[in-house]
Structure 1
């Protein structure tokens, strides 16, 4: 019998597109390797364990189009395989270094067993691909796959350019369908950014439901009768739900969230900052800058005097926290159920996927124990969003409010004085693309039509990459801000240079334009190879 309480655990997997084929080792590509080794693969392993044990329940996973491009990129996957083996080699050096250390050696042995298991799973079971595993998990009902908008643009910043939003959404649907073989029904809005009327644009592309920050639903007009505990129907006929704050605070809160417990692993104490460069070797150094290794020996402790990590203590604690999380959701359902006319309470628990494993090392184990605990409950179950998101309890139509998640809750992170300079650049790029398209159409391309089309398609890729919300987030939070600025300026300059070369070629008639930059960018920023079908 189905439980009346539906816990919708929704993980959003996204990374900015970083691909540098000219470099054997590139610092920012490490973001992808970290997420693969610490989050994506461990979560896949965990879900297959649950399936093998017969534990019921479904995890909901949103994967951005930019991340899908990286997850299916052969060169990045080969580099990731090497990354796993380089970590294993470093662990062997650490084993020798701490052979006589009774505190650190058990941690090294724990990491070594984990690393070898990961390598074996990646190479022997996954055949160095992760997408087939996601498909299998979807087919067996352990995973509901959703998507996210294109390169992760903060859509409210572009509401004056609906054409640009439509291009991003077109990319979204096609990228997902190309990889998974079916059209996506649910959508994670980047940064939960919503503006009134967006639902009508989403409906054009066949989306059926999406998600908002709590106040995006609570401030809807009219006010939803059941708040965030049931889907609401929007004017365009889509359904949406808002984040439930109680479950969010238990995990996200810096002061009271589970990941901050003194027994869990300390994130900010990687050995890259404790070892000499010669010891780390070239692979874990970018010039004079250390590259994080993923090896961390300390627990949070609760003070600056960090104590050595105790893996088994931490994993035991995970069971307690998972039990508490489920118990609190049971209490919420029990309290609300008499007031719900539909005899069902839905609880949306959305998080960045990388929280589980990367930021919170024990996170995947926490999810596994949640599923096991929920399996013993008569009150709640870990449910697919597909079981809930196609009806509303109150039957009314609600217009959600402009909103976002993050600091302030109304887009402040992505629209502020620190990043306001980027949006005029975007509209300049749009102007150059429109001018080039008009010129190309006027002369029908001539003998070089196919070549000029390549220029236009690459300009579109650069424009999409420019729109990623990650850059504004990094600048605002002063995290890799210089890299973010270089990416914004770089994509703008790429569009400008492609425009200049292409227009010069068109004005010269039959003379072939300079294609050196075009060839380089087609090799580097090679995502969405079919984008011409959408232009």
Structure 2
């Protein structure tokens, strides 16, 4: 079969540290929804591909802070309870809708079946956490795993020493969970500043992702960055935006299940999208048969789009090209109910259309490497610059984070003995520096919650600094021990590894 070219799908799994930090509409509820509706079905799909002997199907990014939550006993208990409650809500809805529209009764039955499957899947495969589920996928070669810095900071705004530590900590944390350090990363927010490739090379990172405009849209091959051997892959926006763009995409189709409209007594989502301007009470009931037909239609459209793009690249360059599409994992099932079915359809149909489906690693093995490039300062956010993370709306957060880093580096002292107080000081700093808080403020998405989280971690950090400077080590140790139970299990986070000179 003549190969049209190569297609790489990159899906990135990330949620900030949410455990112990509230419930609906933010906090743990976000985590449990994504876990039940995205992580369980997507991992199940990949496991079935592995059983079929398929290799290099997609590239999966997992942020260390999310991996820590998916392995955390507190979170494991919490999502188990959440899935059980989901099943109870389905039973309540079946009773409530017993004499209602038949489509609502069938929805309640479908929710029962889905929650029963999720409960069985969790209890039989996930009860010891994510790492025992993830490692066989990596070892079998069905996926390439991408890592990243701990707590998902916007790296261009970090002091180079803090940036190096965050990256090393994140890669070491991934190694502790799956037995090896990733060779590639999904750079948080695709944020890049000239010279960061040297940090990547020092950490052993061989490849990373940028957004297409950073390469002026020429994303048909991986490119060495500057004079380094580190390669960047660019997201092909022409293809990626068919699924999800700032303005449109398949999930907005009228027959798909509406993410935002709830039946509040049961907490279920019984409505179809219907229309962007249609008020919730006027939306049509969700009909799975219509949605399944839309999945088939949109999968075929996406395959056609990829094939056309690859053919145009072949005509332009005289050789097979590369298309990289990248999305958040949470799109598949959580935000887009039908996403896992679409994903399965596309990954099945593309090879049948003559497209090589592989990972970023596989694309390099196929020879998709172009000429070196000097990347500009960039991100995937609005304007493709840094405005989301250092704009006027978050100027106070940027100032606070700059001062926090300065204080951190001035407070830490070289030590041969591991110090749990210093470890907790660094942990609070990294959590305060998460890119999520600025993003949520700029995008006005639970902005108050984001500001609260940023200020909470900054205040804890400052309190520990004050105790350290006053010499009250005993109280600092007590507080550090209590905070550790809330801030997450980063076993690889060792304050002695923070470079204090540079």
If the length of structure 1 is used for normalisation, what is the TM-score?
0.86
Secondary structure class of the residue paired with 1:9: strand
Return the offset for 1:53. 5.3
Tell me the residue number matched to 1:487: 453
Q: CA deviation at 1:417?
A: 1.2
What is the DSSP-based 3-state SS (H/G/I as helix, E as strand, rest coil) of the residue aligned with 1:105? helix
Contact map agreement 2:72 2:129 (CA 8 A) in 1: no
User: Once structures 1 and 2 are overlaid, which stretch shifts more, 24-33 or 60-69?
Assistant: 24-33
Structure 2 residue aligned with 1:194: 192
Aligned pairs for 1:80-479 within 5 A: 80-101=79-100, 102-158=102-158, 161-218=159-216, 227-234=218-225, 235-253=227-245, 255-272=247-264, 275=265, 293=267, 295-302=268-275, 303-304=278-279, 305-341=282-318, 343-378=319-354, 380-389=355-364, 396-438=371-413, 453-479=419-445
Contact 2:251–2:336 under 8 Å retained in 1? yes
Contact 2:169 2:493 in 1 (8 A): yes
* Cα distance, 1:480 vs structure 2: 1.1
Per-residue deviation at 1:514?
4.8
Asked if 1:517 corresponds to 2:492, the answer is no
Tell me by how many angstroms 1:396 deviates. 3.0
Any idea what the Cα deviations from partners look like across 1:310-354, whole Å, max 9, x if unmatched?
11221222112111111111122122214335x321101011111
Shift of 1:138: 2.2
1:48 deviates by 2.7
| Cα distance in 1 between the residues matched to 2:112 and 2:234 | 41
Aligned mates of 2:369, 2:93 — CA distance in 1: 60
Give how far 1:364 is off: 0.8
**Alpha-carbon contact 1:239-1:389 (below 8 Å) kept:** no
Q: Distance in 1 between matches of 2:133 and 2:208?
A: 25
* CA-CA distance at 1:390 after TM superposition: 6.4
Q: Which has the larger radius of gyration?
A: 1
Task: Look up the SS of the partner of 1:60 in the other structure.
Answer: strand
Q: Post-superposition shift, 1:436?
A: 2.9
- Deviation digits for residues 200-257 of structure 1 (CA, Å, limit 9, x no counterpart): 11110001111111111128xxxxxxx2111111122111121112212211136541
CA 529–134 in structure 1, closer or farther in 2 if over 3 Å, else same = closer
Distance in 2, Cα, partners of 1:501 & 1:394: 52
Q: Distance in 1 between matches of 2:245 and 2:372?
A: 33
Contact 2:390/2:398 (<8 A) preserved? no
Is the deviation greater in 79-88 or in 48-57?
Answer: 48-57
Per the TM alignment, residue 467 of structure 1 is displaced from its structure 2 partner at its CA by: 0.9
| Superposed displacement of residue 431, structure 1 | 3.4
Moved more, 124-133 or 161-170: 124-133
* Residue 56 of structure 1, CA deviation: 6.8
C-alpha distance in 1 between matches for 2:34 and 2:462? 33
CA spacing shift, 1:238–1:56, aligned 2, 3 Å: closer
> How many angstroms apart in 2 are the aligned matches of 1:24 and 1:418?
26
Query: Offset of 1:469 from its aligned partner?
Result: 0.6
Aligned to 2:77: 78
Question: How has the CA–CA distance of structure 1 residues 51 and 323 changed in structure 2, closer, same or farther, with 3 Å as cutoff?
Answer: farther
- How many angstroms apart in 2 are the aligned matches of 1:362 and 1:65? 27
Q: Indicate conservation of the 8 Å contact 1:459/1:495, yes or no.
A: yes
Structure 1 residue matching 2:412: 3-state secondary structure = helix
Q: Is the 8 A contact 2:54 2:142 kept in 1?
A: no
Structure 1 pair 133–175 and aligned structure 2 pair: CA distance change class (3 A): same
Which secondary structure state, in structure 1, belongs to the residue aligned with residue 448 of structure 2? Answer: helix
CA–CA distance in structure 2, aligned partners of residues 231 and 117 of structure 1 = 40
Question: Do the aligned partners of residues 231 and 487 (structure 1) sit closer, same or farther apart at CA in structure 2, a change above 3 Å counting?
Answer: same
Contact 2:3 2:356 in 1 (8 A): yes
Rounded Cα–Cα distance in structure 2 between residues aligned with 1:429 and 1:2? 56
| Cα offset, 1:91, TM superposition | 1.0
- Equivalent position SS for 1:12: strand
Residue-pair matches, total: 491
RMSD: 2.4
Residues 151 and 435 of structure 1, relative CA distance in 2, 3 Å threshold: same
Name 1:283's counterpart in structure 2.
Answer: none
Alignment check: 8 A CA contact 2:404 2:429 kept: yes
Distance 1:513 1:393, change over 3 A: closer
- TM norm structure 2: 0.92
